[in-house]
Amino acid sequence: MRTRFAPSPSGLLHIGNAYSALICQQWQQHNHAELLLRIEDIDHNRCKPEWITAIFEDLEWLGIPFSTPILQQSLRTAHYQYALDQLQNLGVIYACNCTRKSIQAEIERMGVAPHLDDPHIFYPGTCREQHKEETANTAWRLNIEKAHALLNAELSWKDECQHYPVNWQQQSDPVIGRKDIGFSYHLASVVDDAEQQITHIIRGEDLRPFAPLHRILQSLLQLPEPTYIHHPILCDMQGNRLCKRHHAPTLQSLRQQGQNVQQLRERLYQSMANHLWNHGDFYSAIAD
Ligand code: GLU
């Protein structure tokens, strides 16, 4: 059995990332499994080499060793292009030249239900039938209807307890090839989970809505089916998600402040009971 930790070097790792990494390690040890690392750095606009270096330093400090090889997505674009070509040969993707603004305008014109008005989630299908020419500004979208017709099967994804049927109606032609960086997280991650032979994908609950899409891509690309384990996101005592936006303390800053790493691990283990992180208490512990 194998799992992986797949951080994006778009900033320094913070307490929320450490929490996720520890959950992976705990599962690995409990199951005598392997734990692999993947650096998800396809987004060259947001990722920096110094943040990759920091990931290695932070994880070593945190006491989380990984099996090799370590995958770095920015070195694997040929594999993602190959997968995109496969989807194109299957006739299930199409070129889309819409902008976020034009999608929003179309959604307003259609007057669709308010919960469908997020252009990230809902795409009104503007380019689906139009056979747009590929330009420098082209994204590639998955044609959900065609994918459904092609797979023509009861598709499901699974966690450790049960199978969940893929609800095709909830899917909305997602971007698989981004116009800015060529590929989407979805495509790169399913290709790499197969490459790393991951049997159990452990990741935050925020990514759970994408499990059906990932299953569809695996099925189209004839990749193995993994088991998903989505863990709750660590929050502060006010219920805010511990992330960069909410100024979650970084591991680098804690290390530089002389934080005892065993104590940090203990605190994170204790947080697993309710997925809450008690900042104040922790800082007074640093001061002691
Ligand atoms: N790179 C993603 C992140 O840092 C995790 C993706 C995954 O585990 O599939 O949130």
Sequence-ordered list of residues with C-beta below 8 angstroms from that of 159, at least 6 positions apart, any chain: 227, 228, 229, 230
Atom of ligand 1 nearest to the CA of 10: 4
Same domain, 52 and 99: no
232 membership: H or E segment, kind and range:
none
Q: Which pTM does this prediction carry?
A: 0.92
Number of domains making up the chain: 2
Give residue 122's domain range: 78-185
φ, ψ for residue 64, nearest 5 deg: -120, 95
Same domain, 144 and 202: no
Same domain, 215 and 168: no
Sequence-ordered list of residues with C-beta below 8 angstroms from that of 185, at least 6 positions apart, any chain: 40, 42
Ligand 1 pocket member 38 (CB < 6 A): no
Same domain, 59 and 101: no
Distance (Å) from CA 132 to ligand 1 centroid: 31
Which of 144, 164, 185 represents a domain boundary (last residue)? 185
DSSP assignment letter at 182: S
Q: Which pLDDT tens digit goes with each residue over 127-169?
A: 888 776 777 678 999 999 999 999 977 899 999 999 999 999 8
Annotate 192-213 with b (16+ C-beta within 10 A) or e (fewer).
bbbebebbbbbbbeebeebbbb
Same domain, 90 and 174: yes
Ligand 1 pocket member 2 (CB < 6 A): no
Same domain, 91 and 232: no
Distance (Å) from CA 78 to ligand 1 centroid: 21
Neighbours of 86 (CB within 10 A): 14
97's torsion region: left (phi>0), alpha (psi -120 to 50) or beta? alpha
Same domain, 68 and 208: yes
Ligand 1 pocket member 207 (CB < 6 A): yes
Q: Is the CB of residue 200 less than 8 Å from the CB of residue 226?
A: yes
CATH number, domain with residue 113: 3.40.50.620
How far is C-alpha 149 from the geometric centre of its chain's CA atoms? 27
Q: Which pLDDT tens digit goes with each residue over 189-226?
A: 999 999 999 999 999 999 999 999 999 999 999 999 99
Percent of the chain with pLDDT over 90: 73
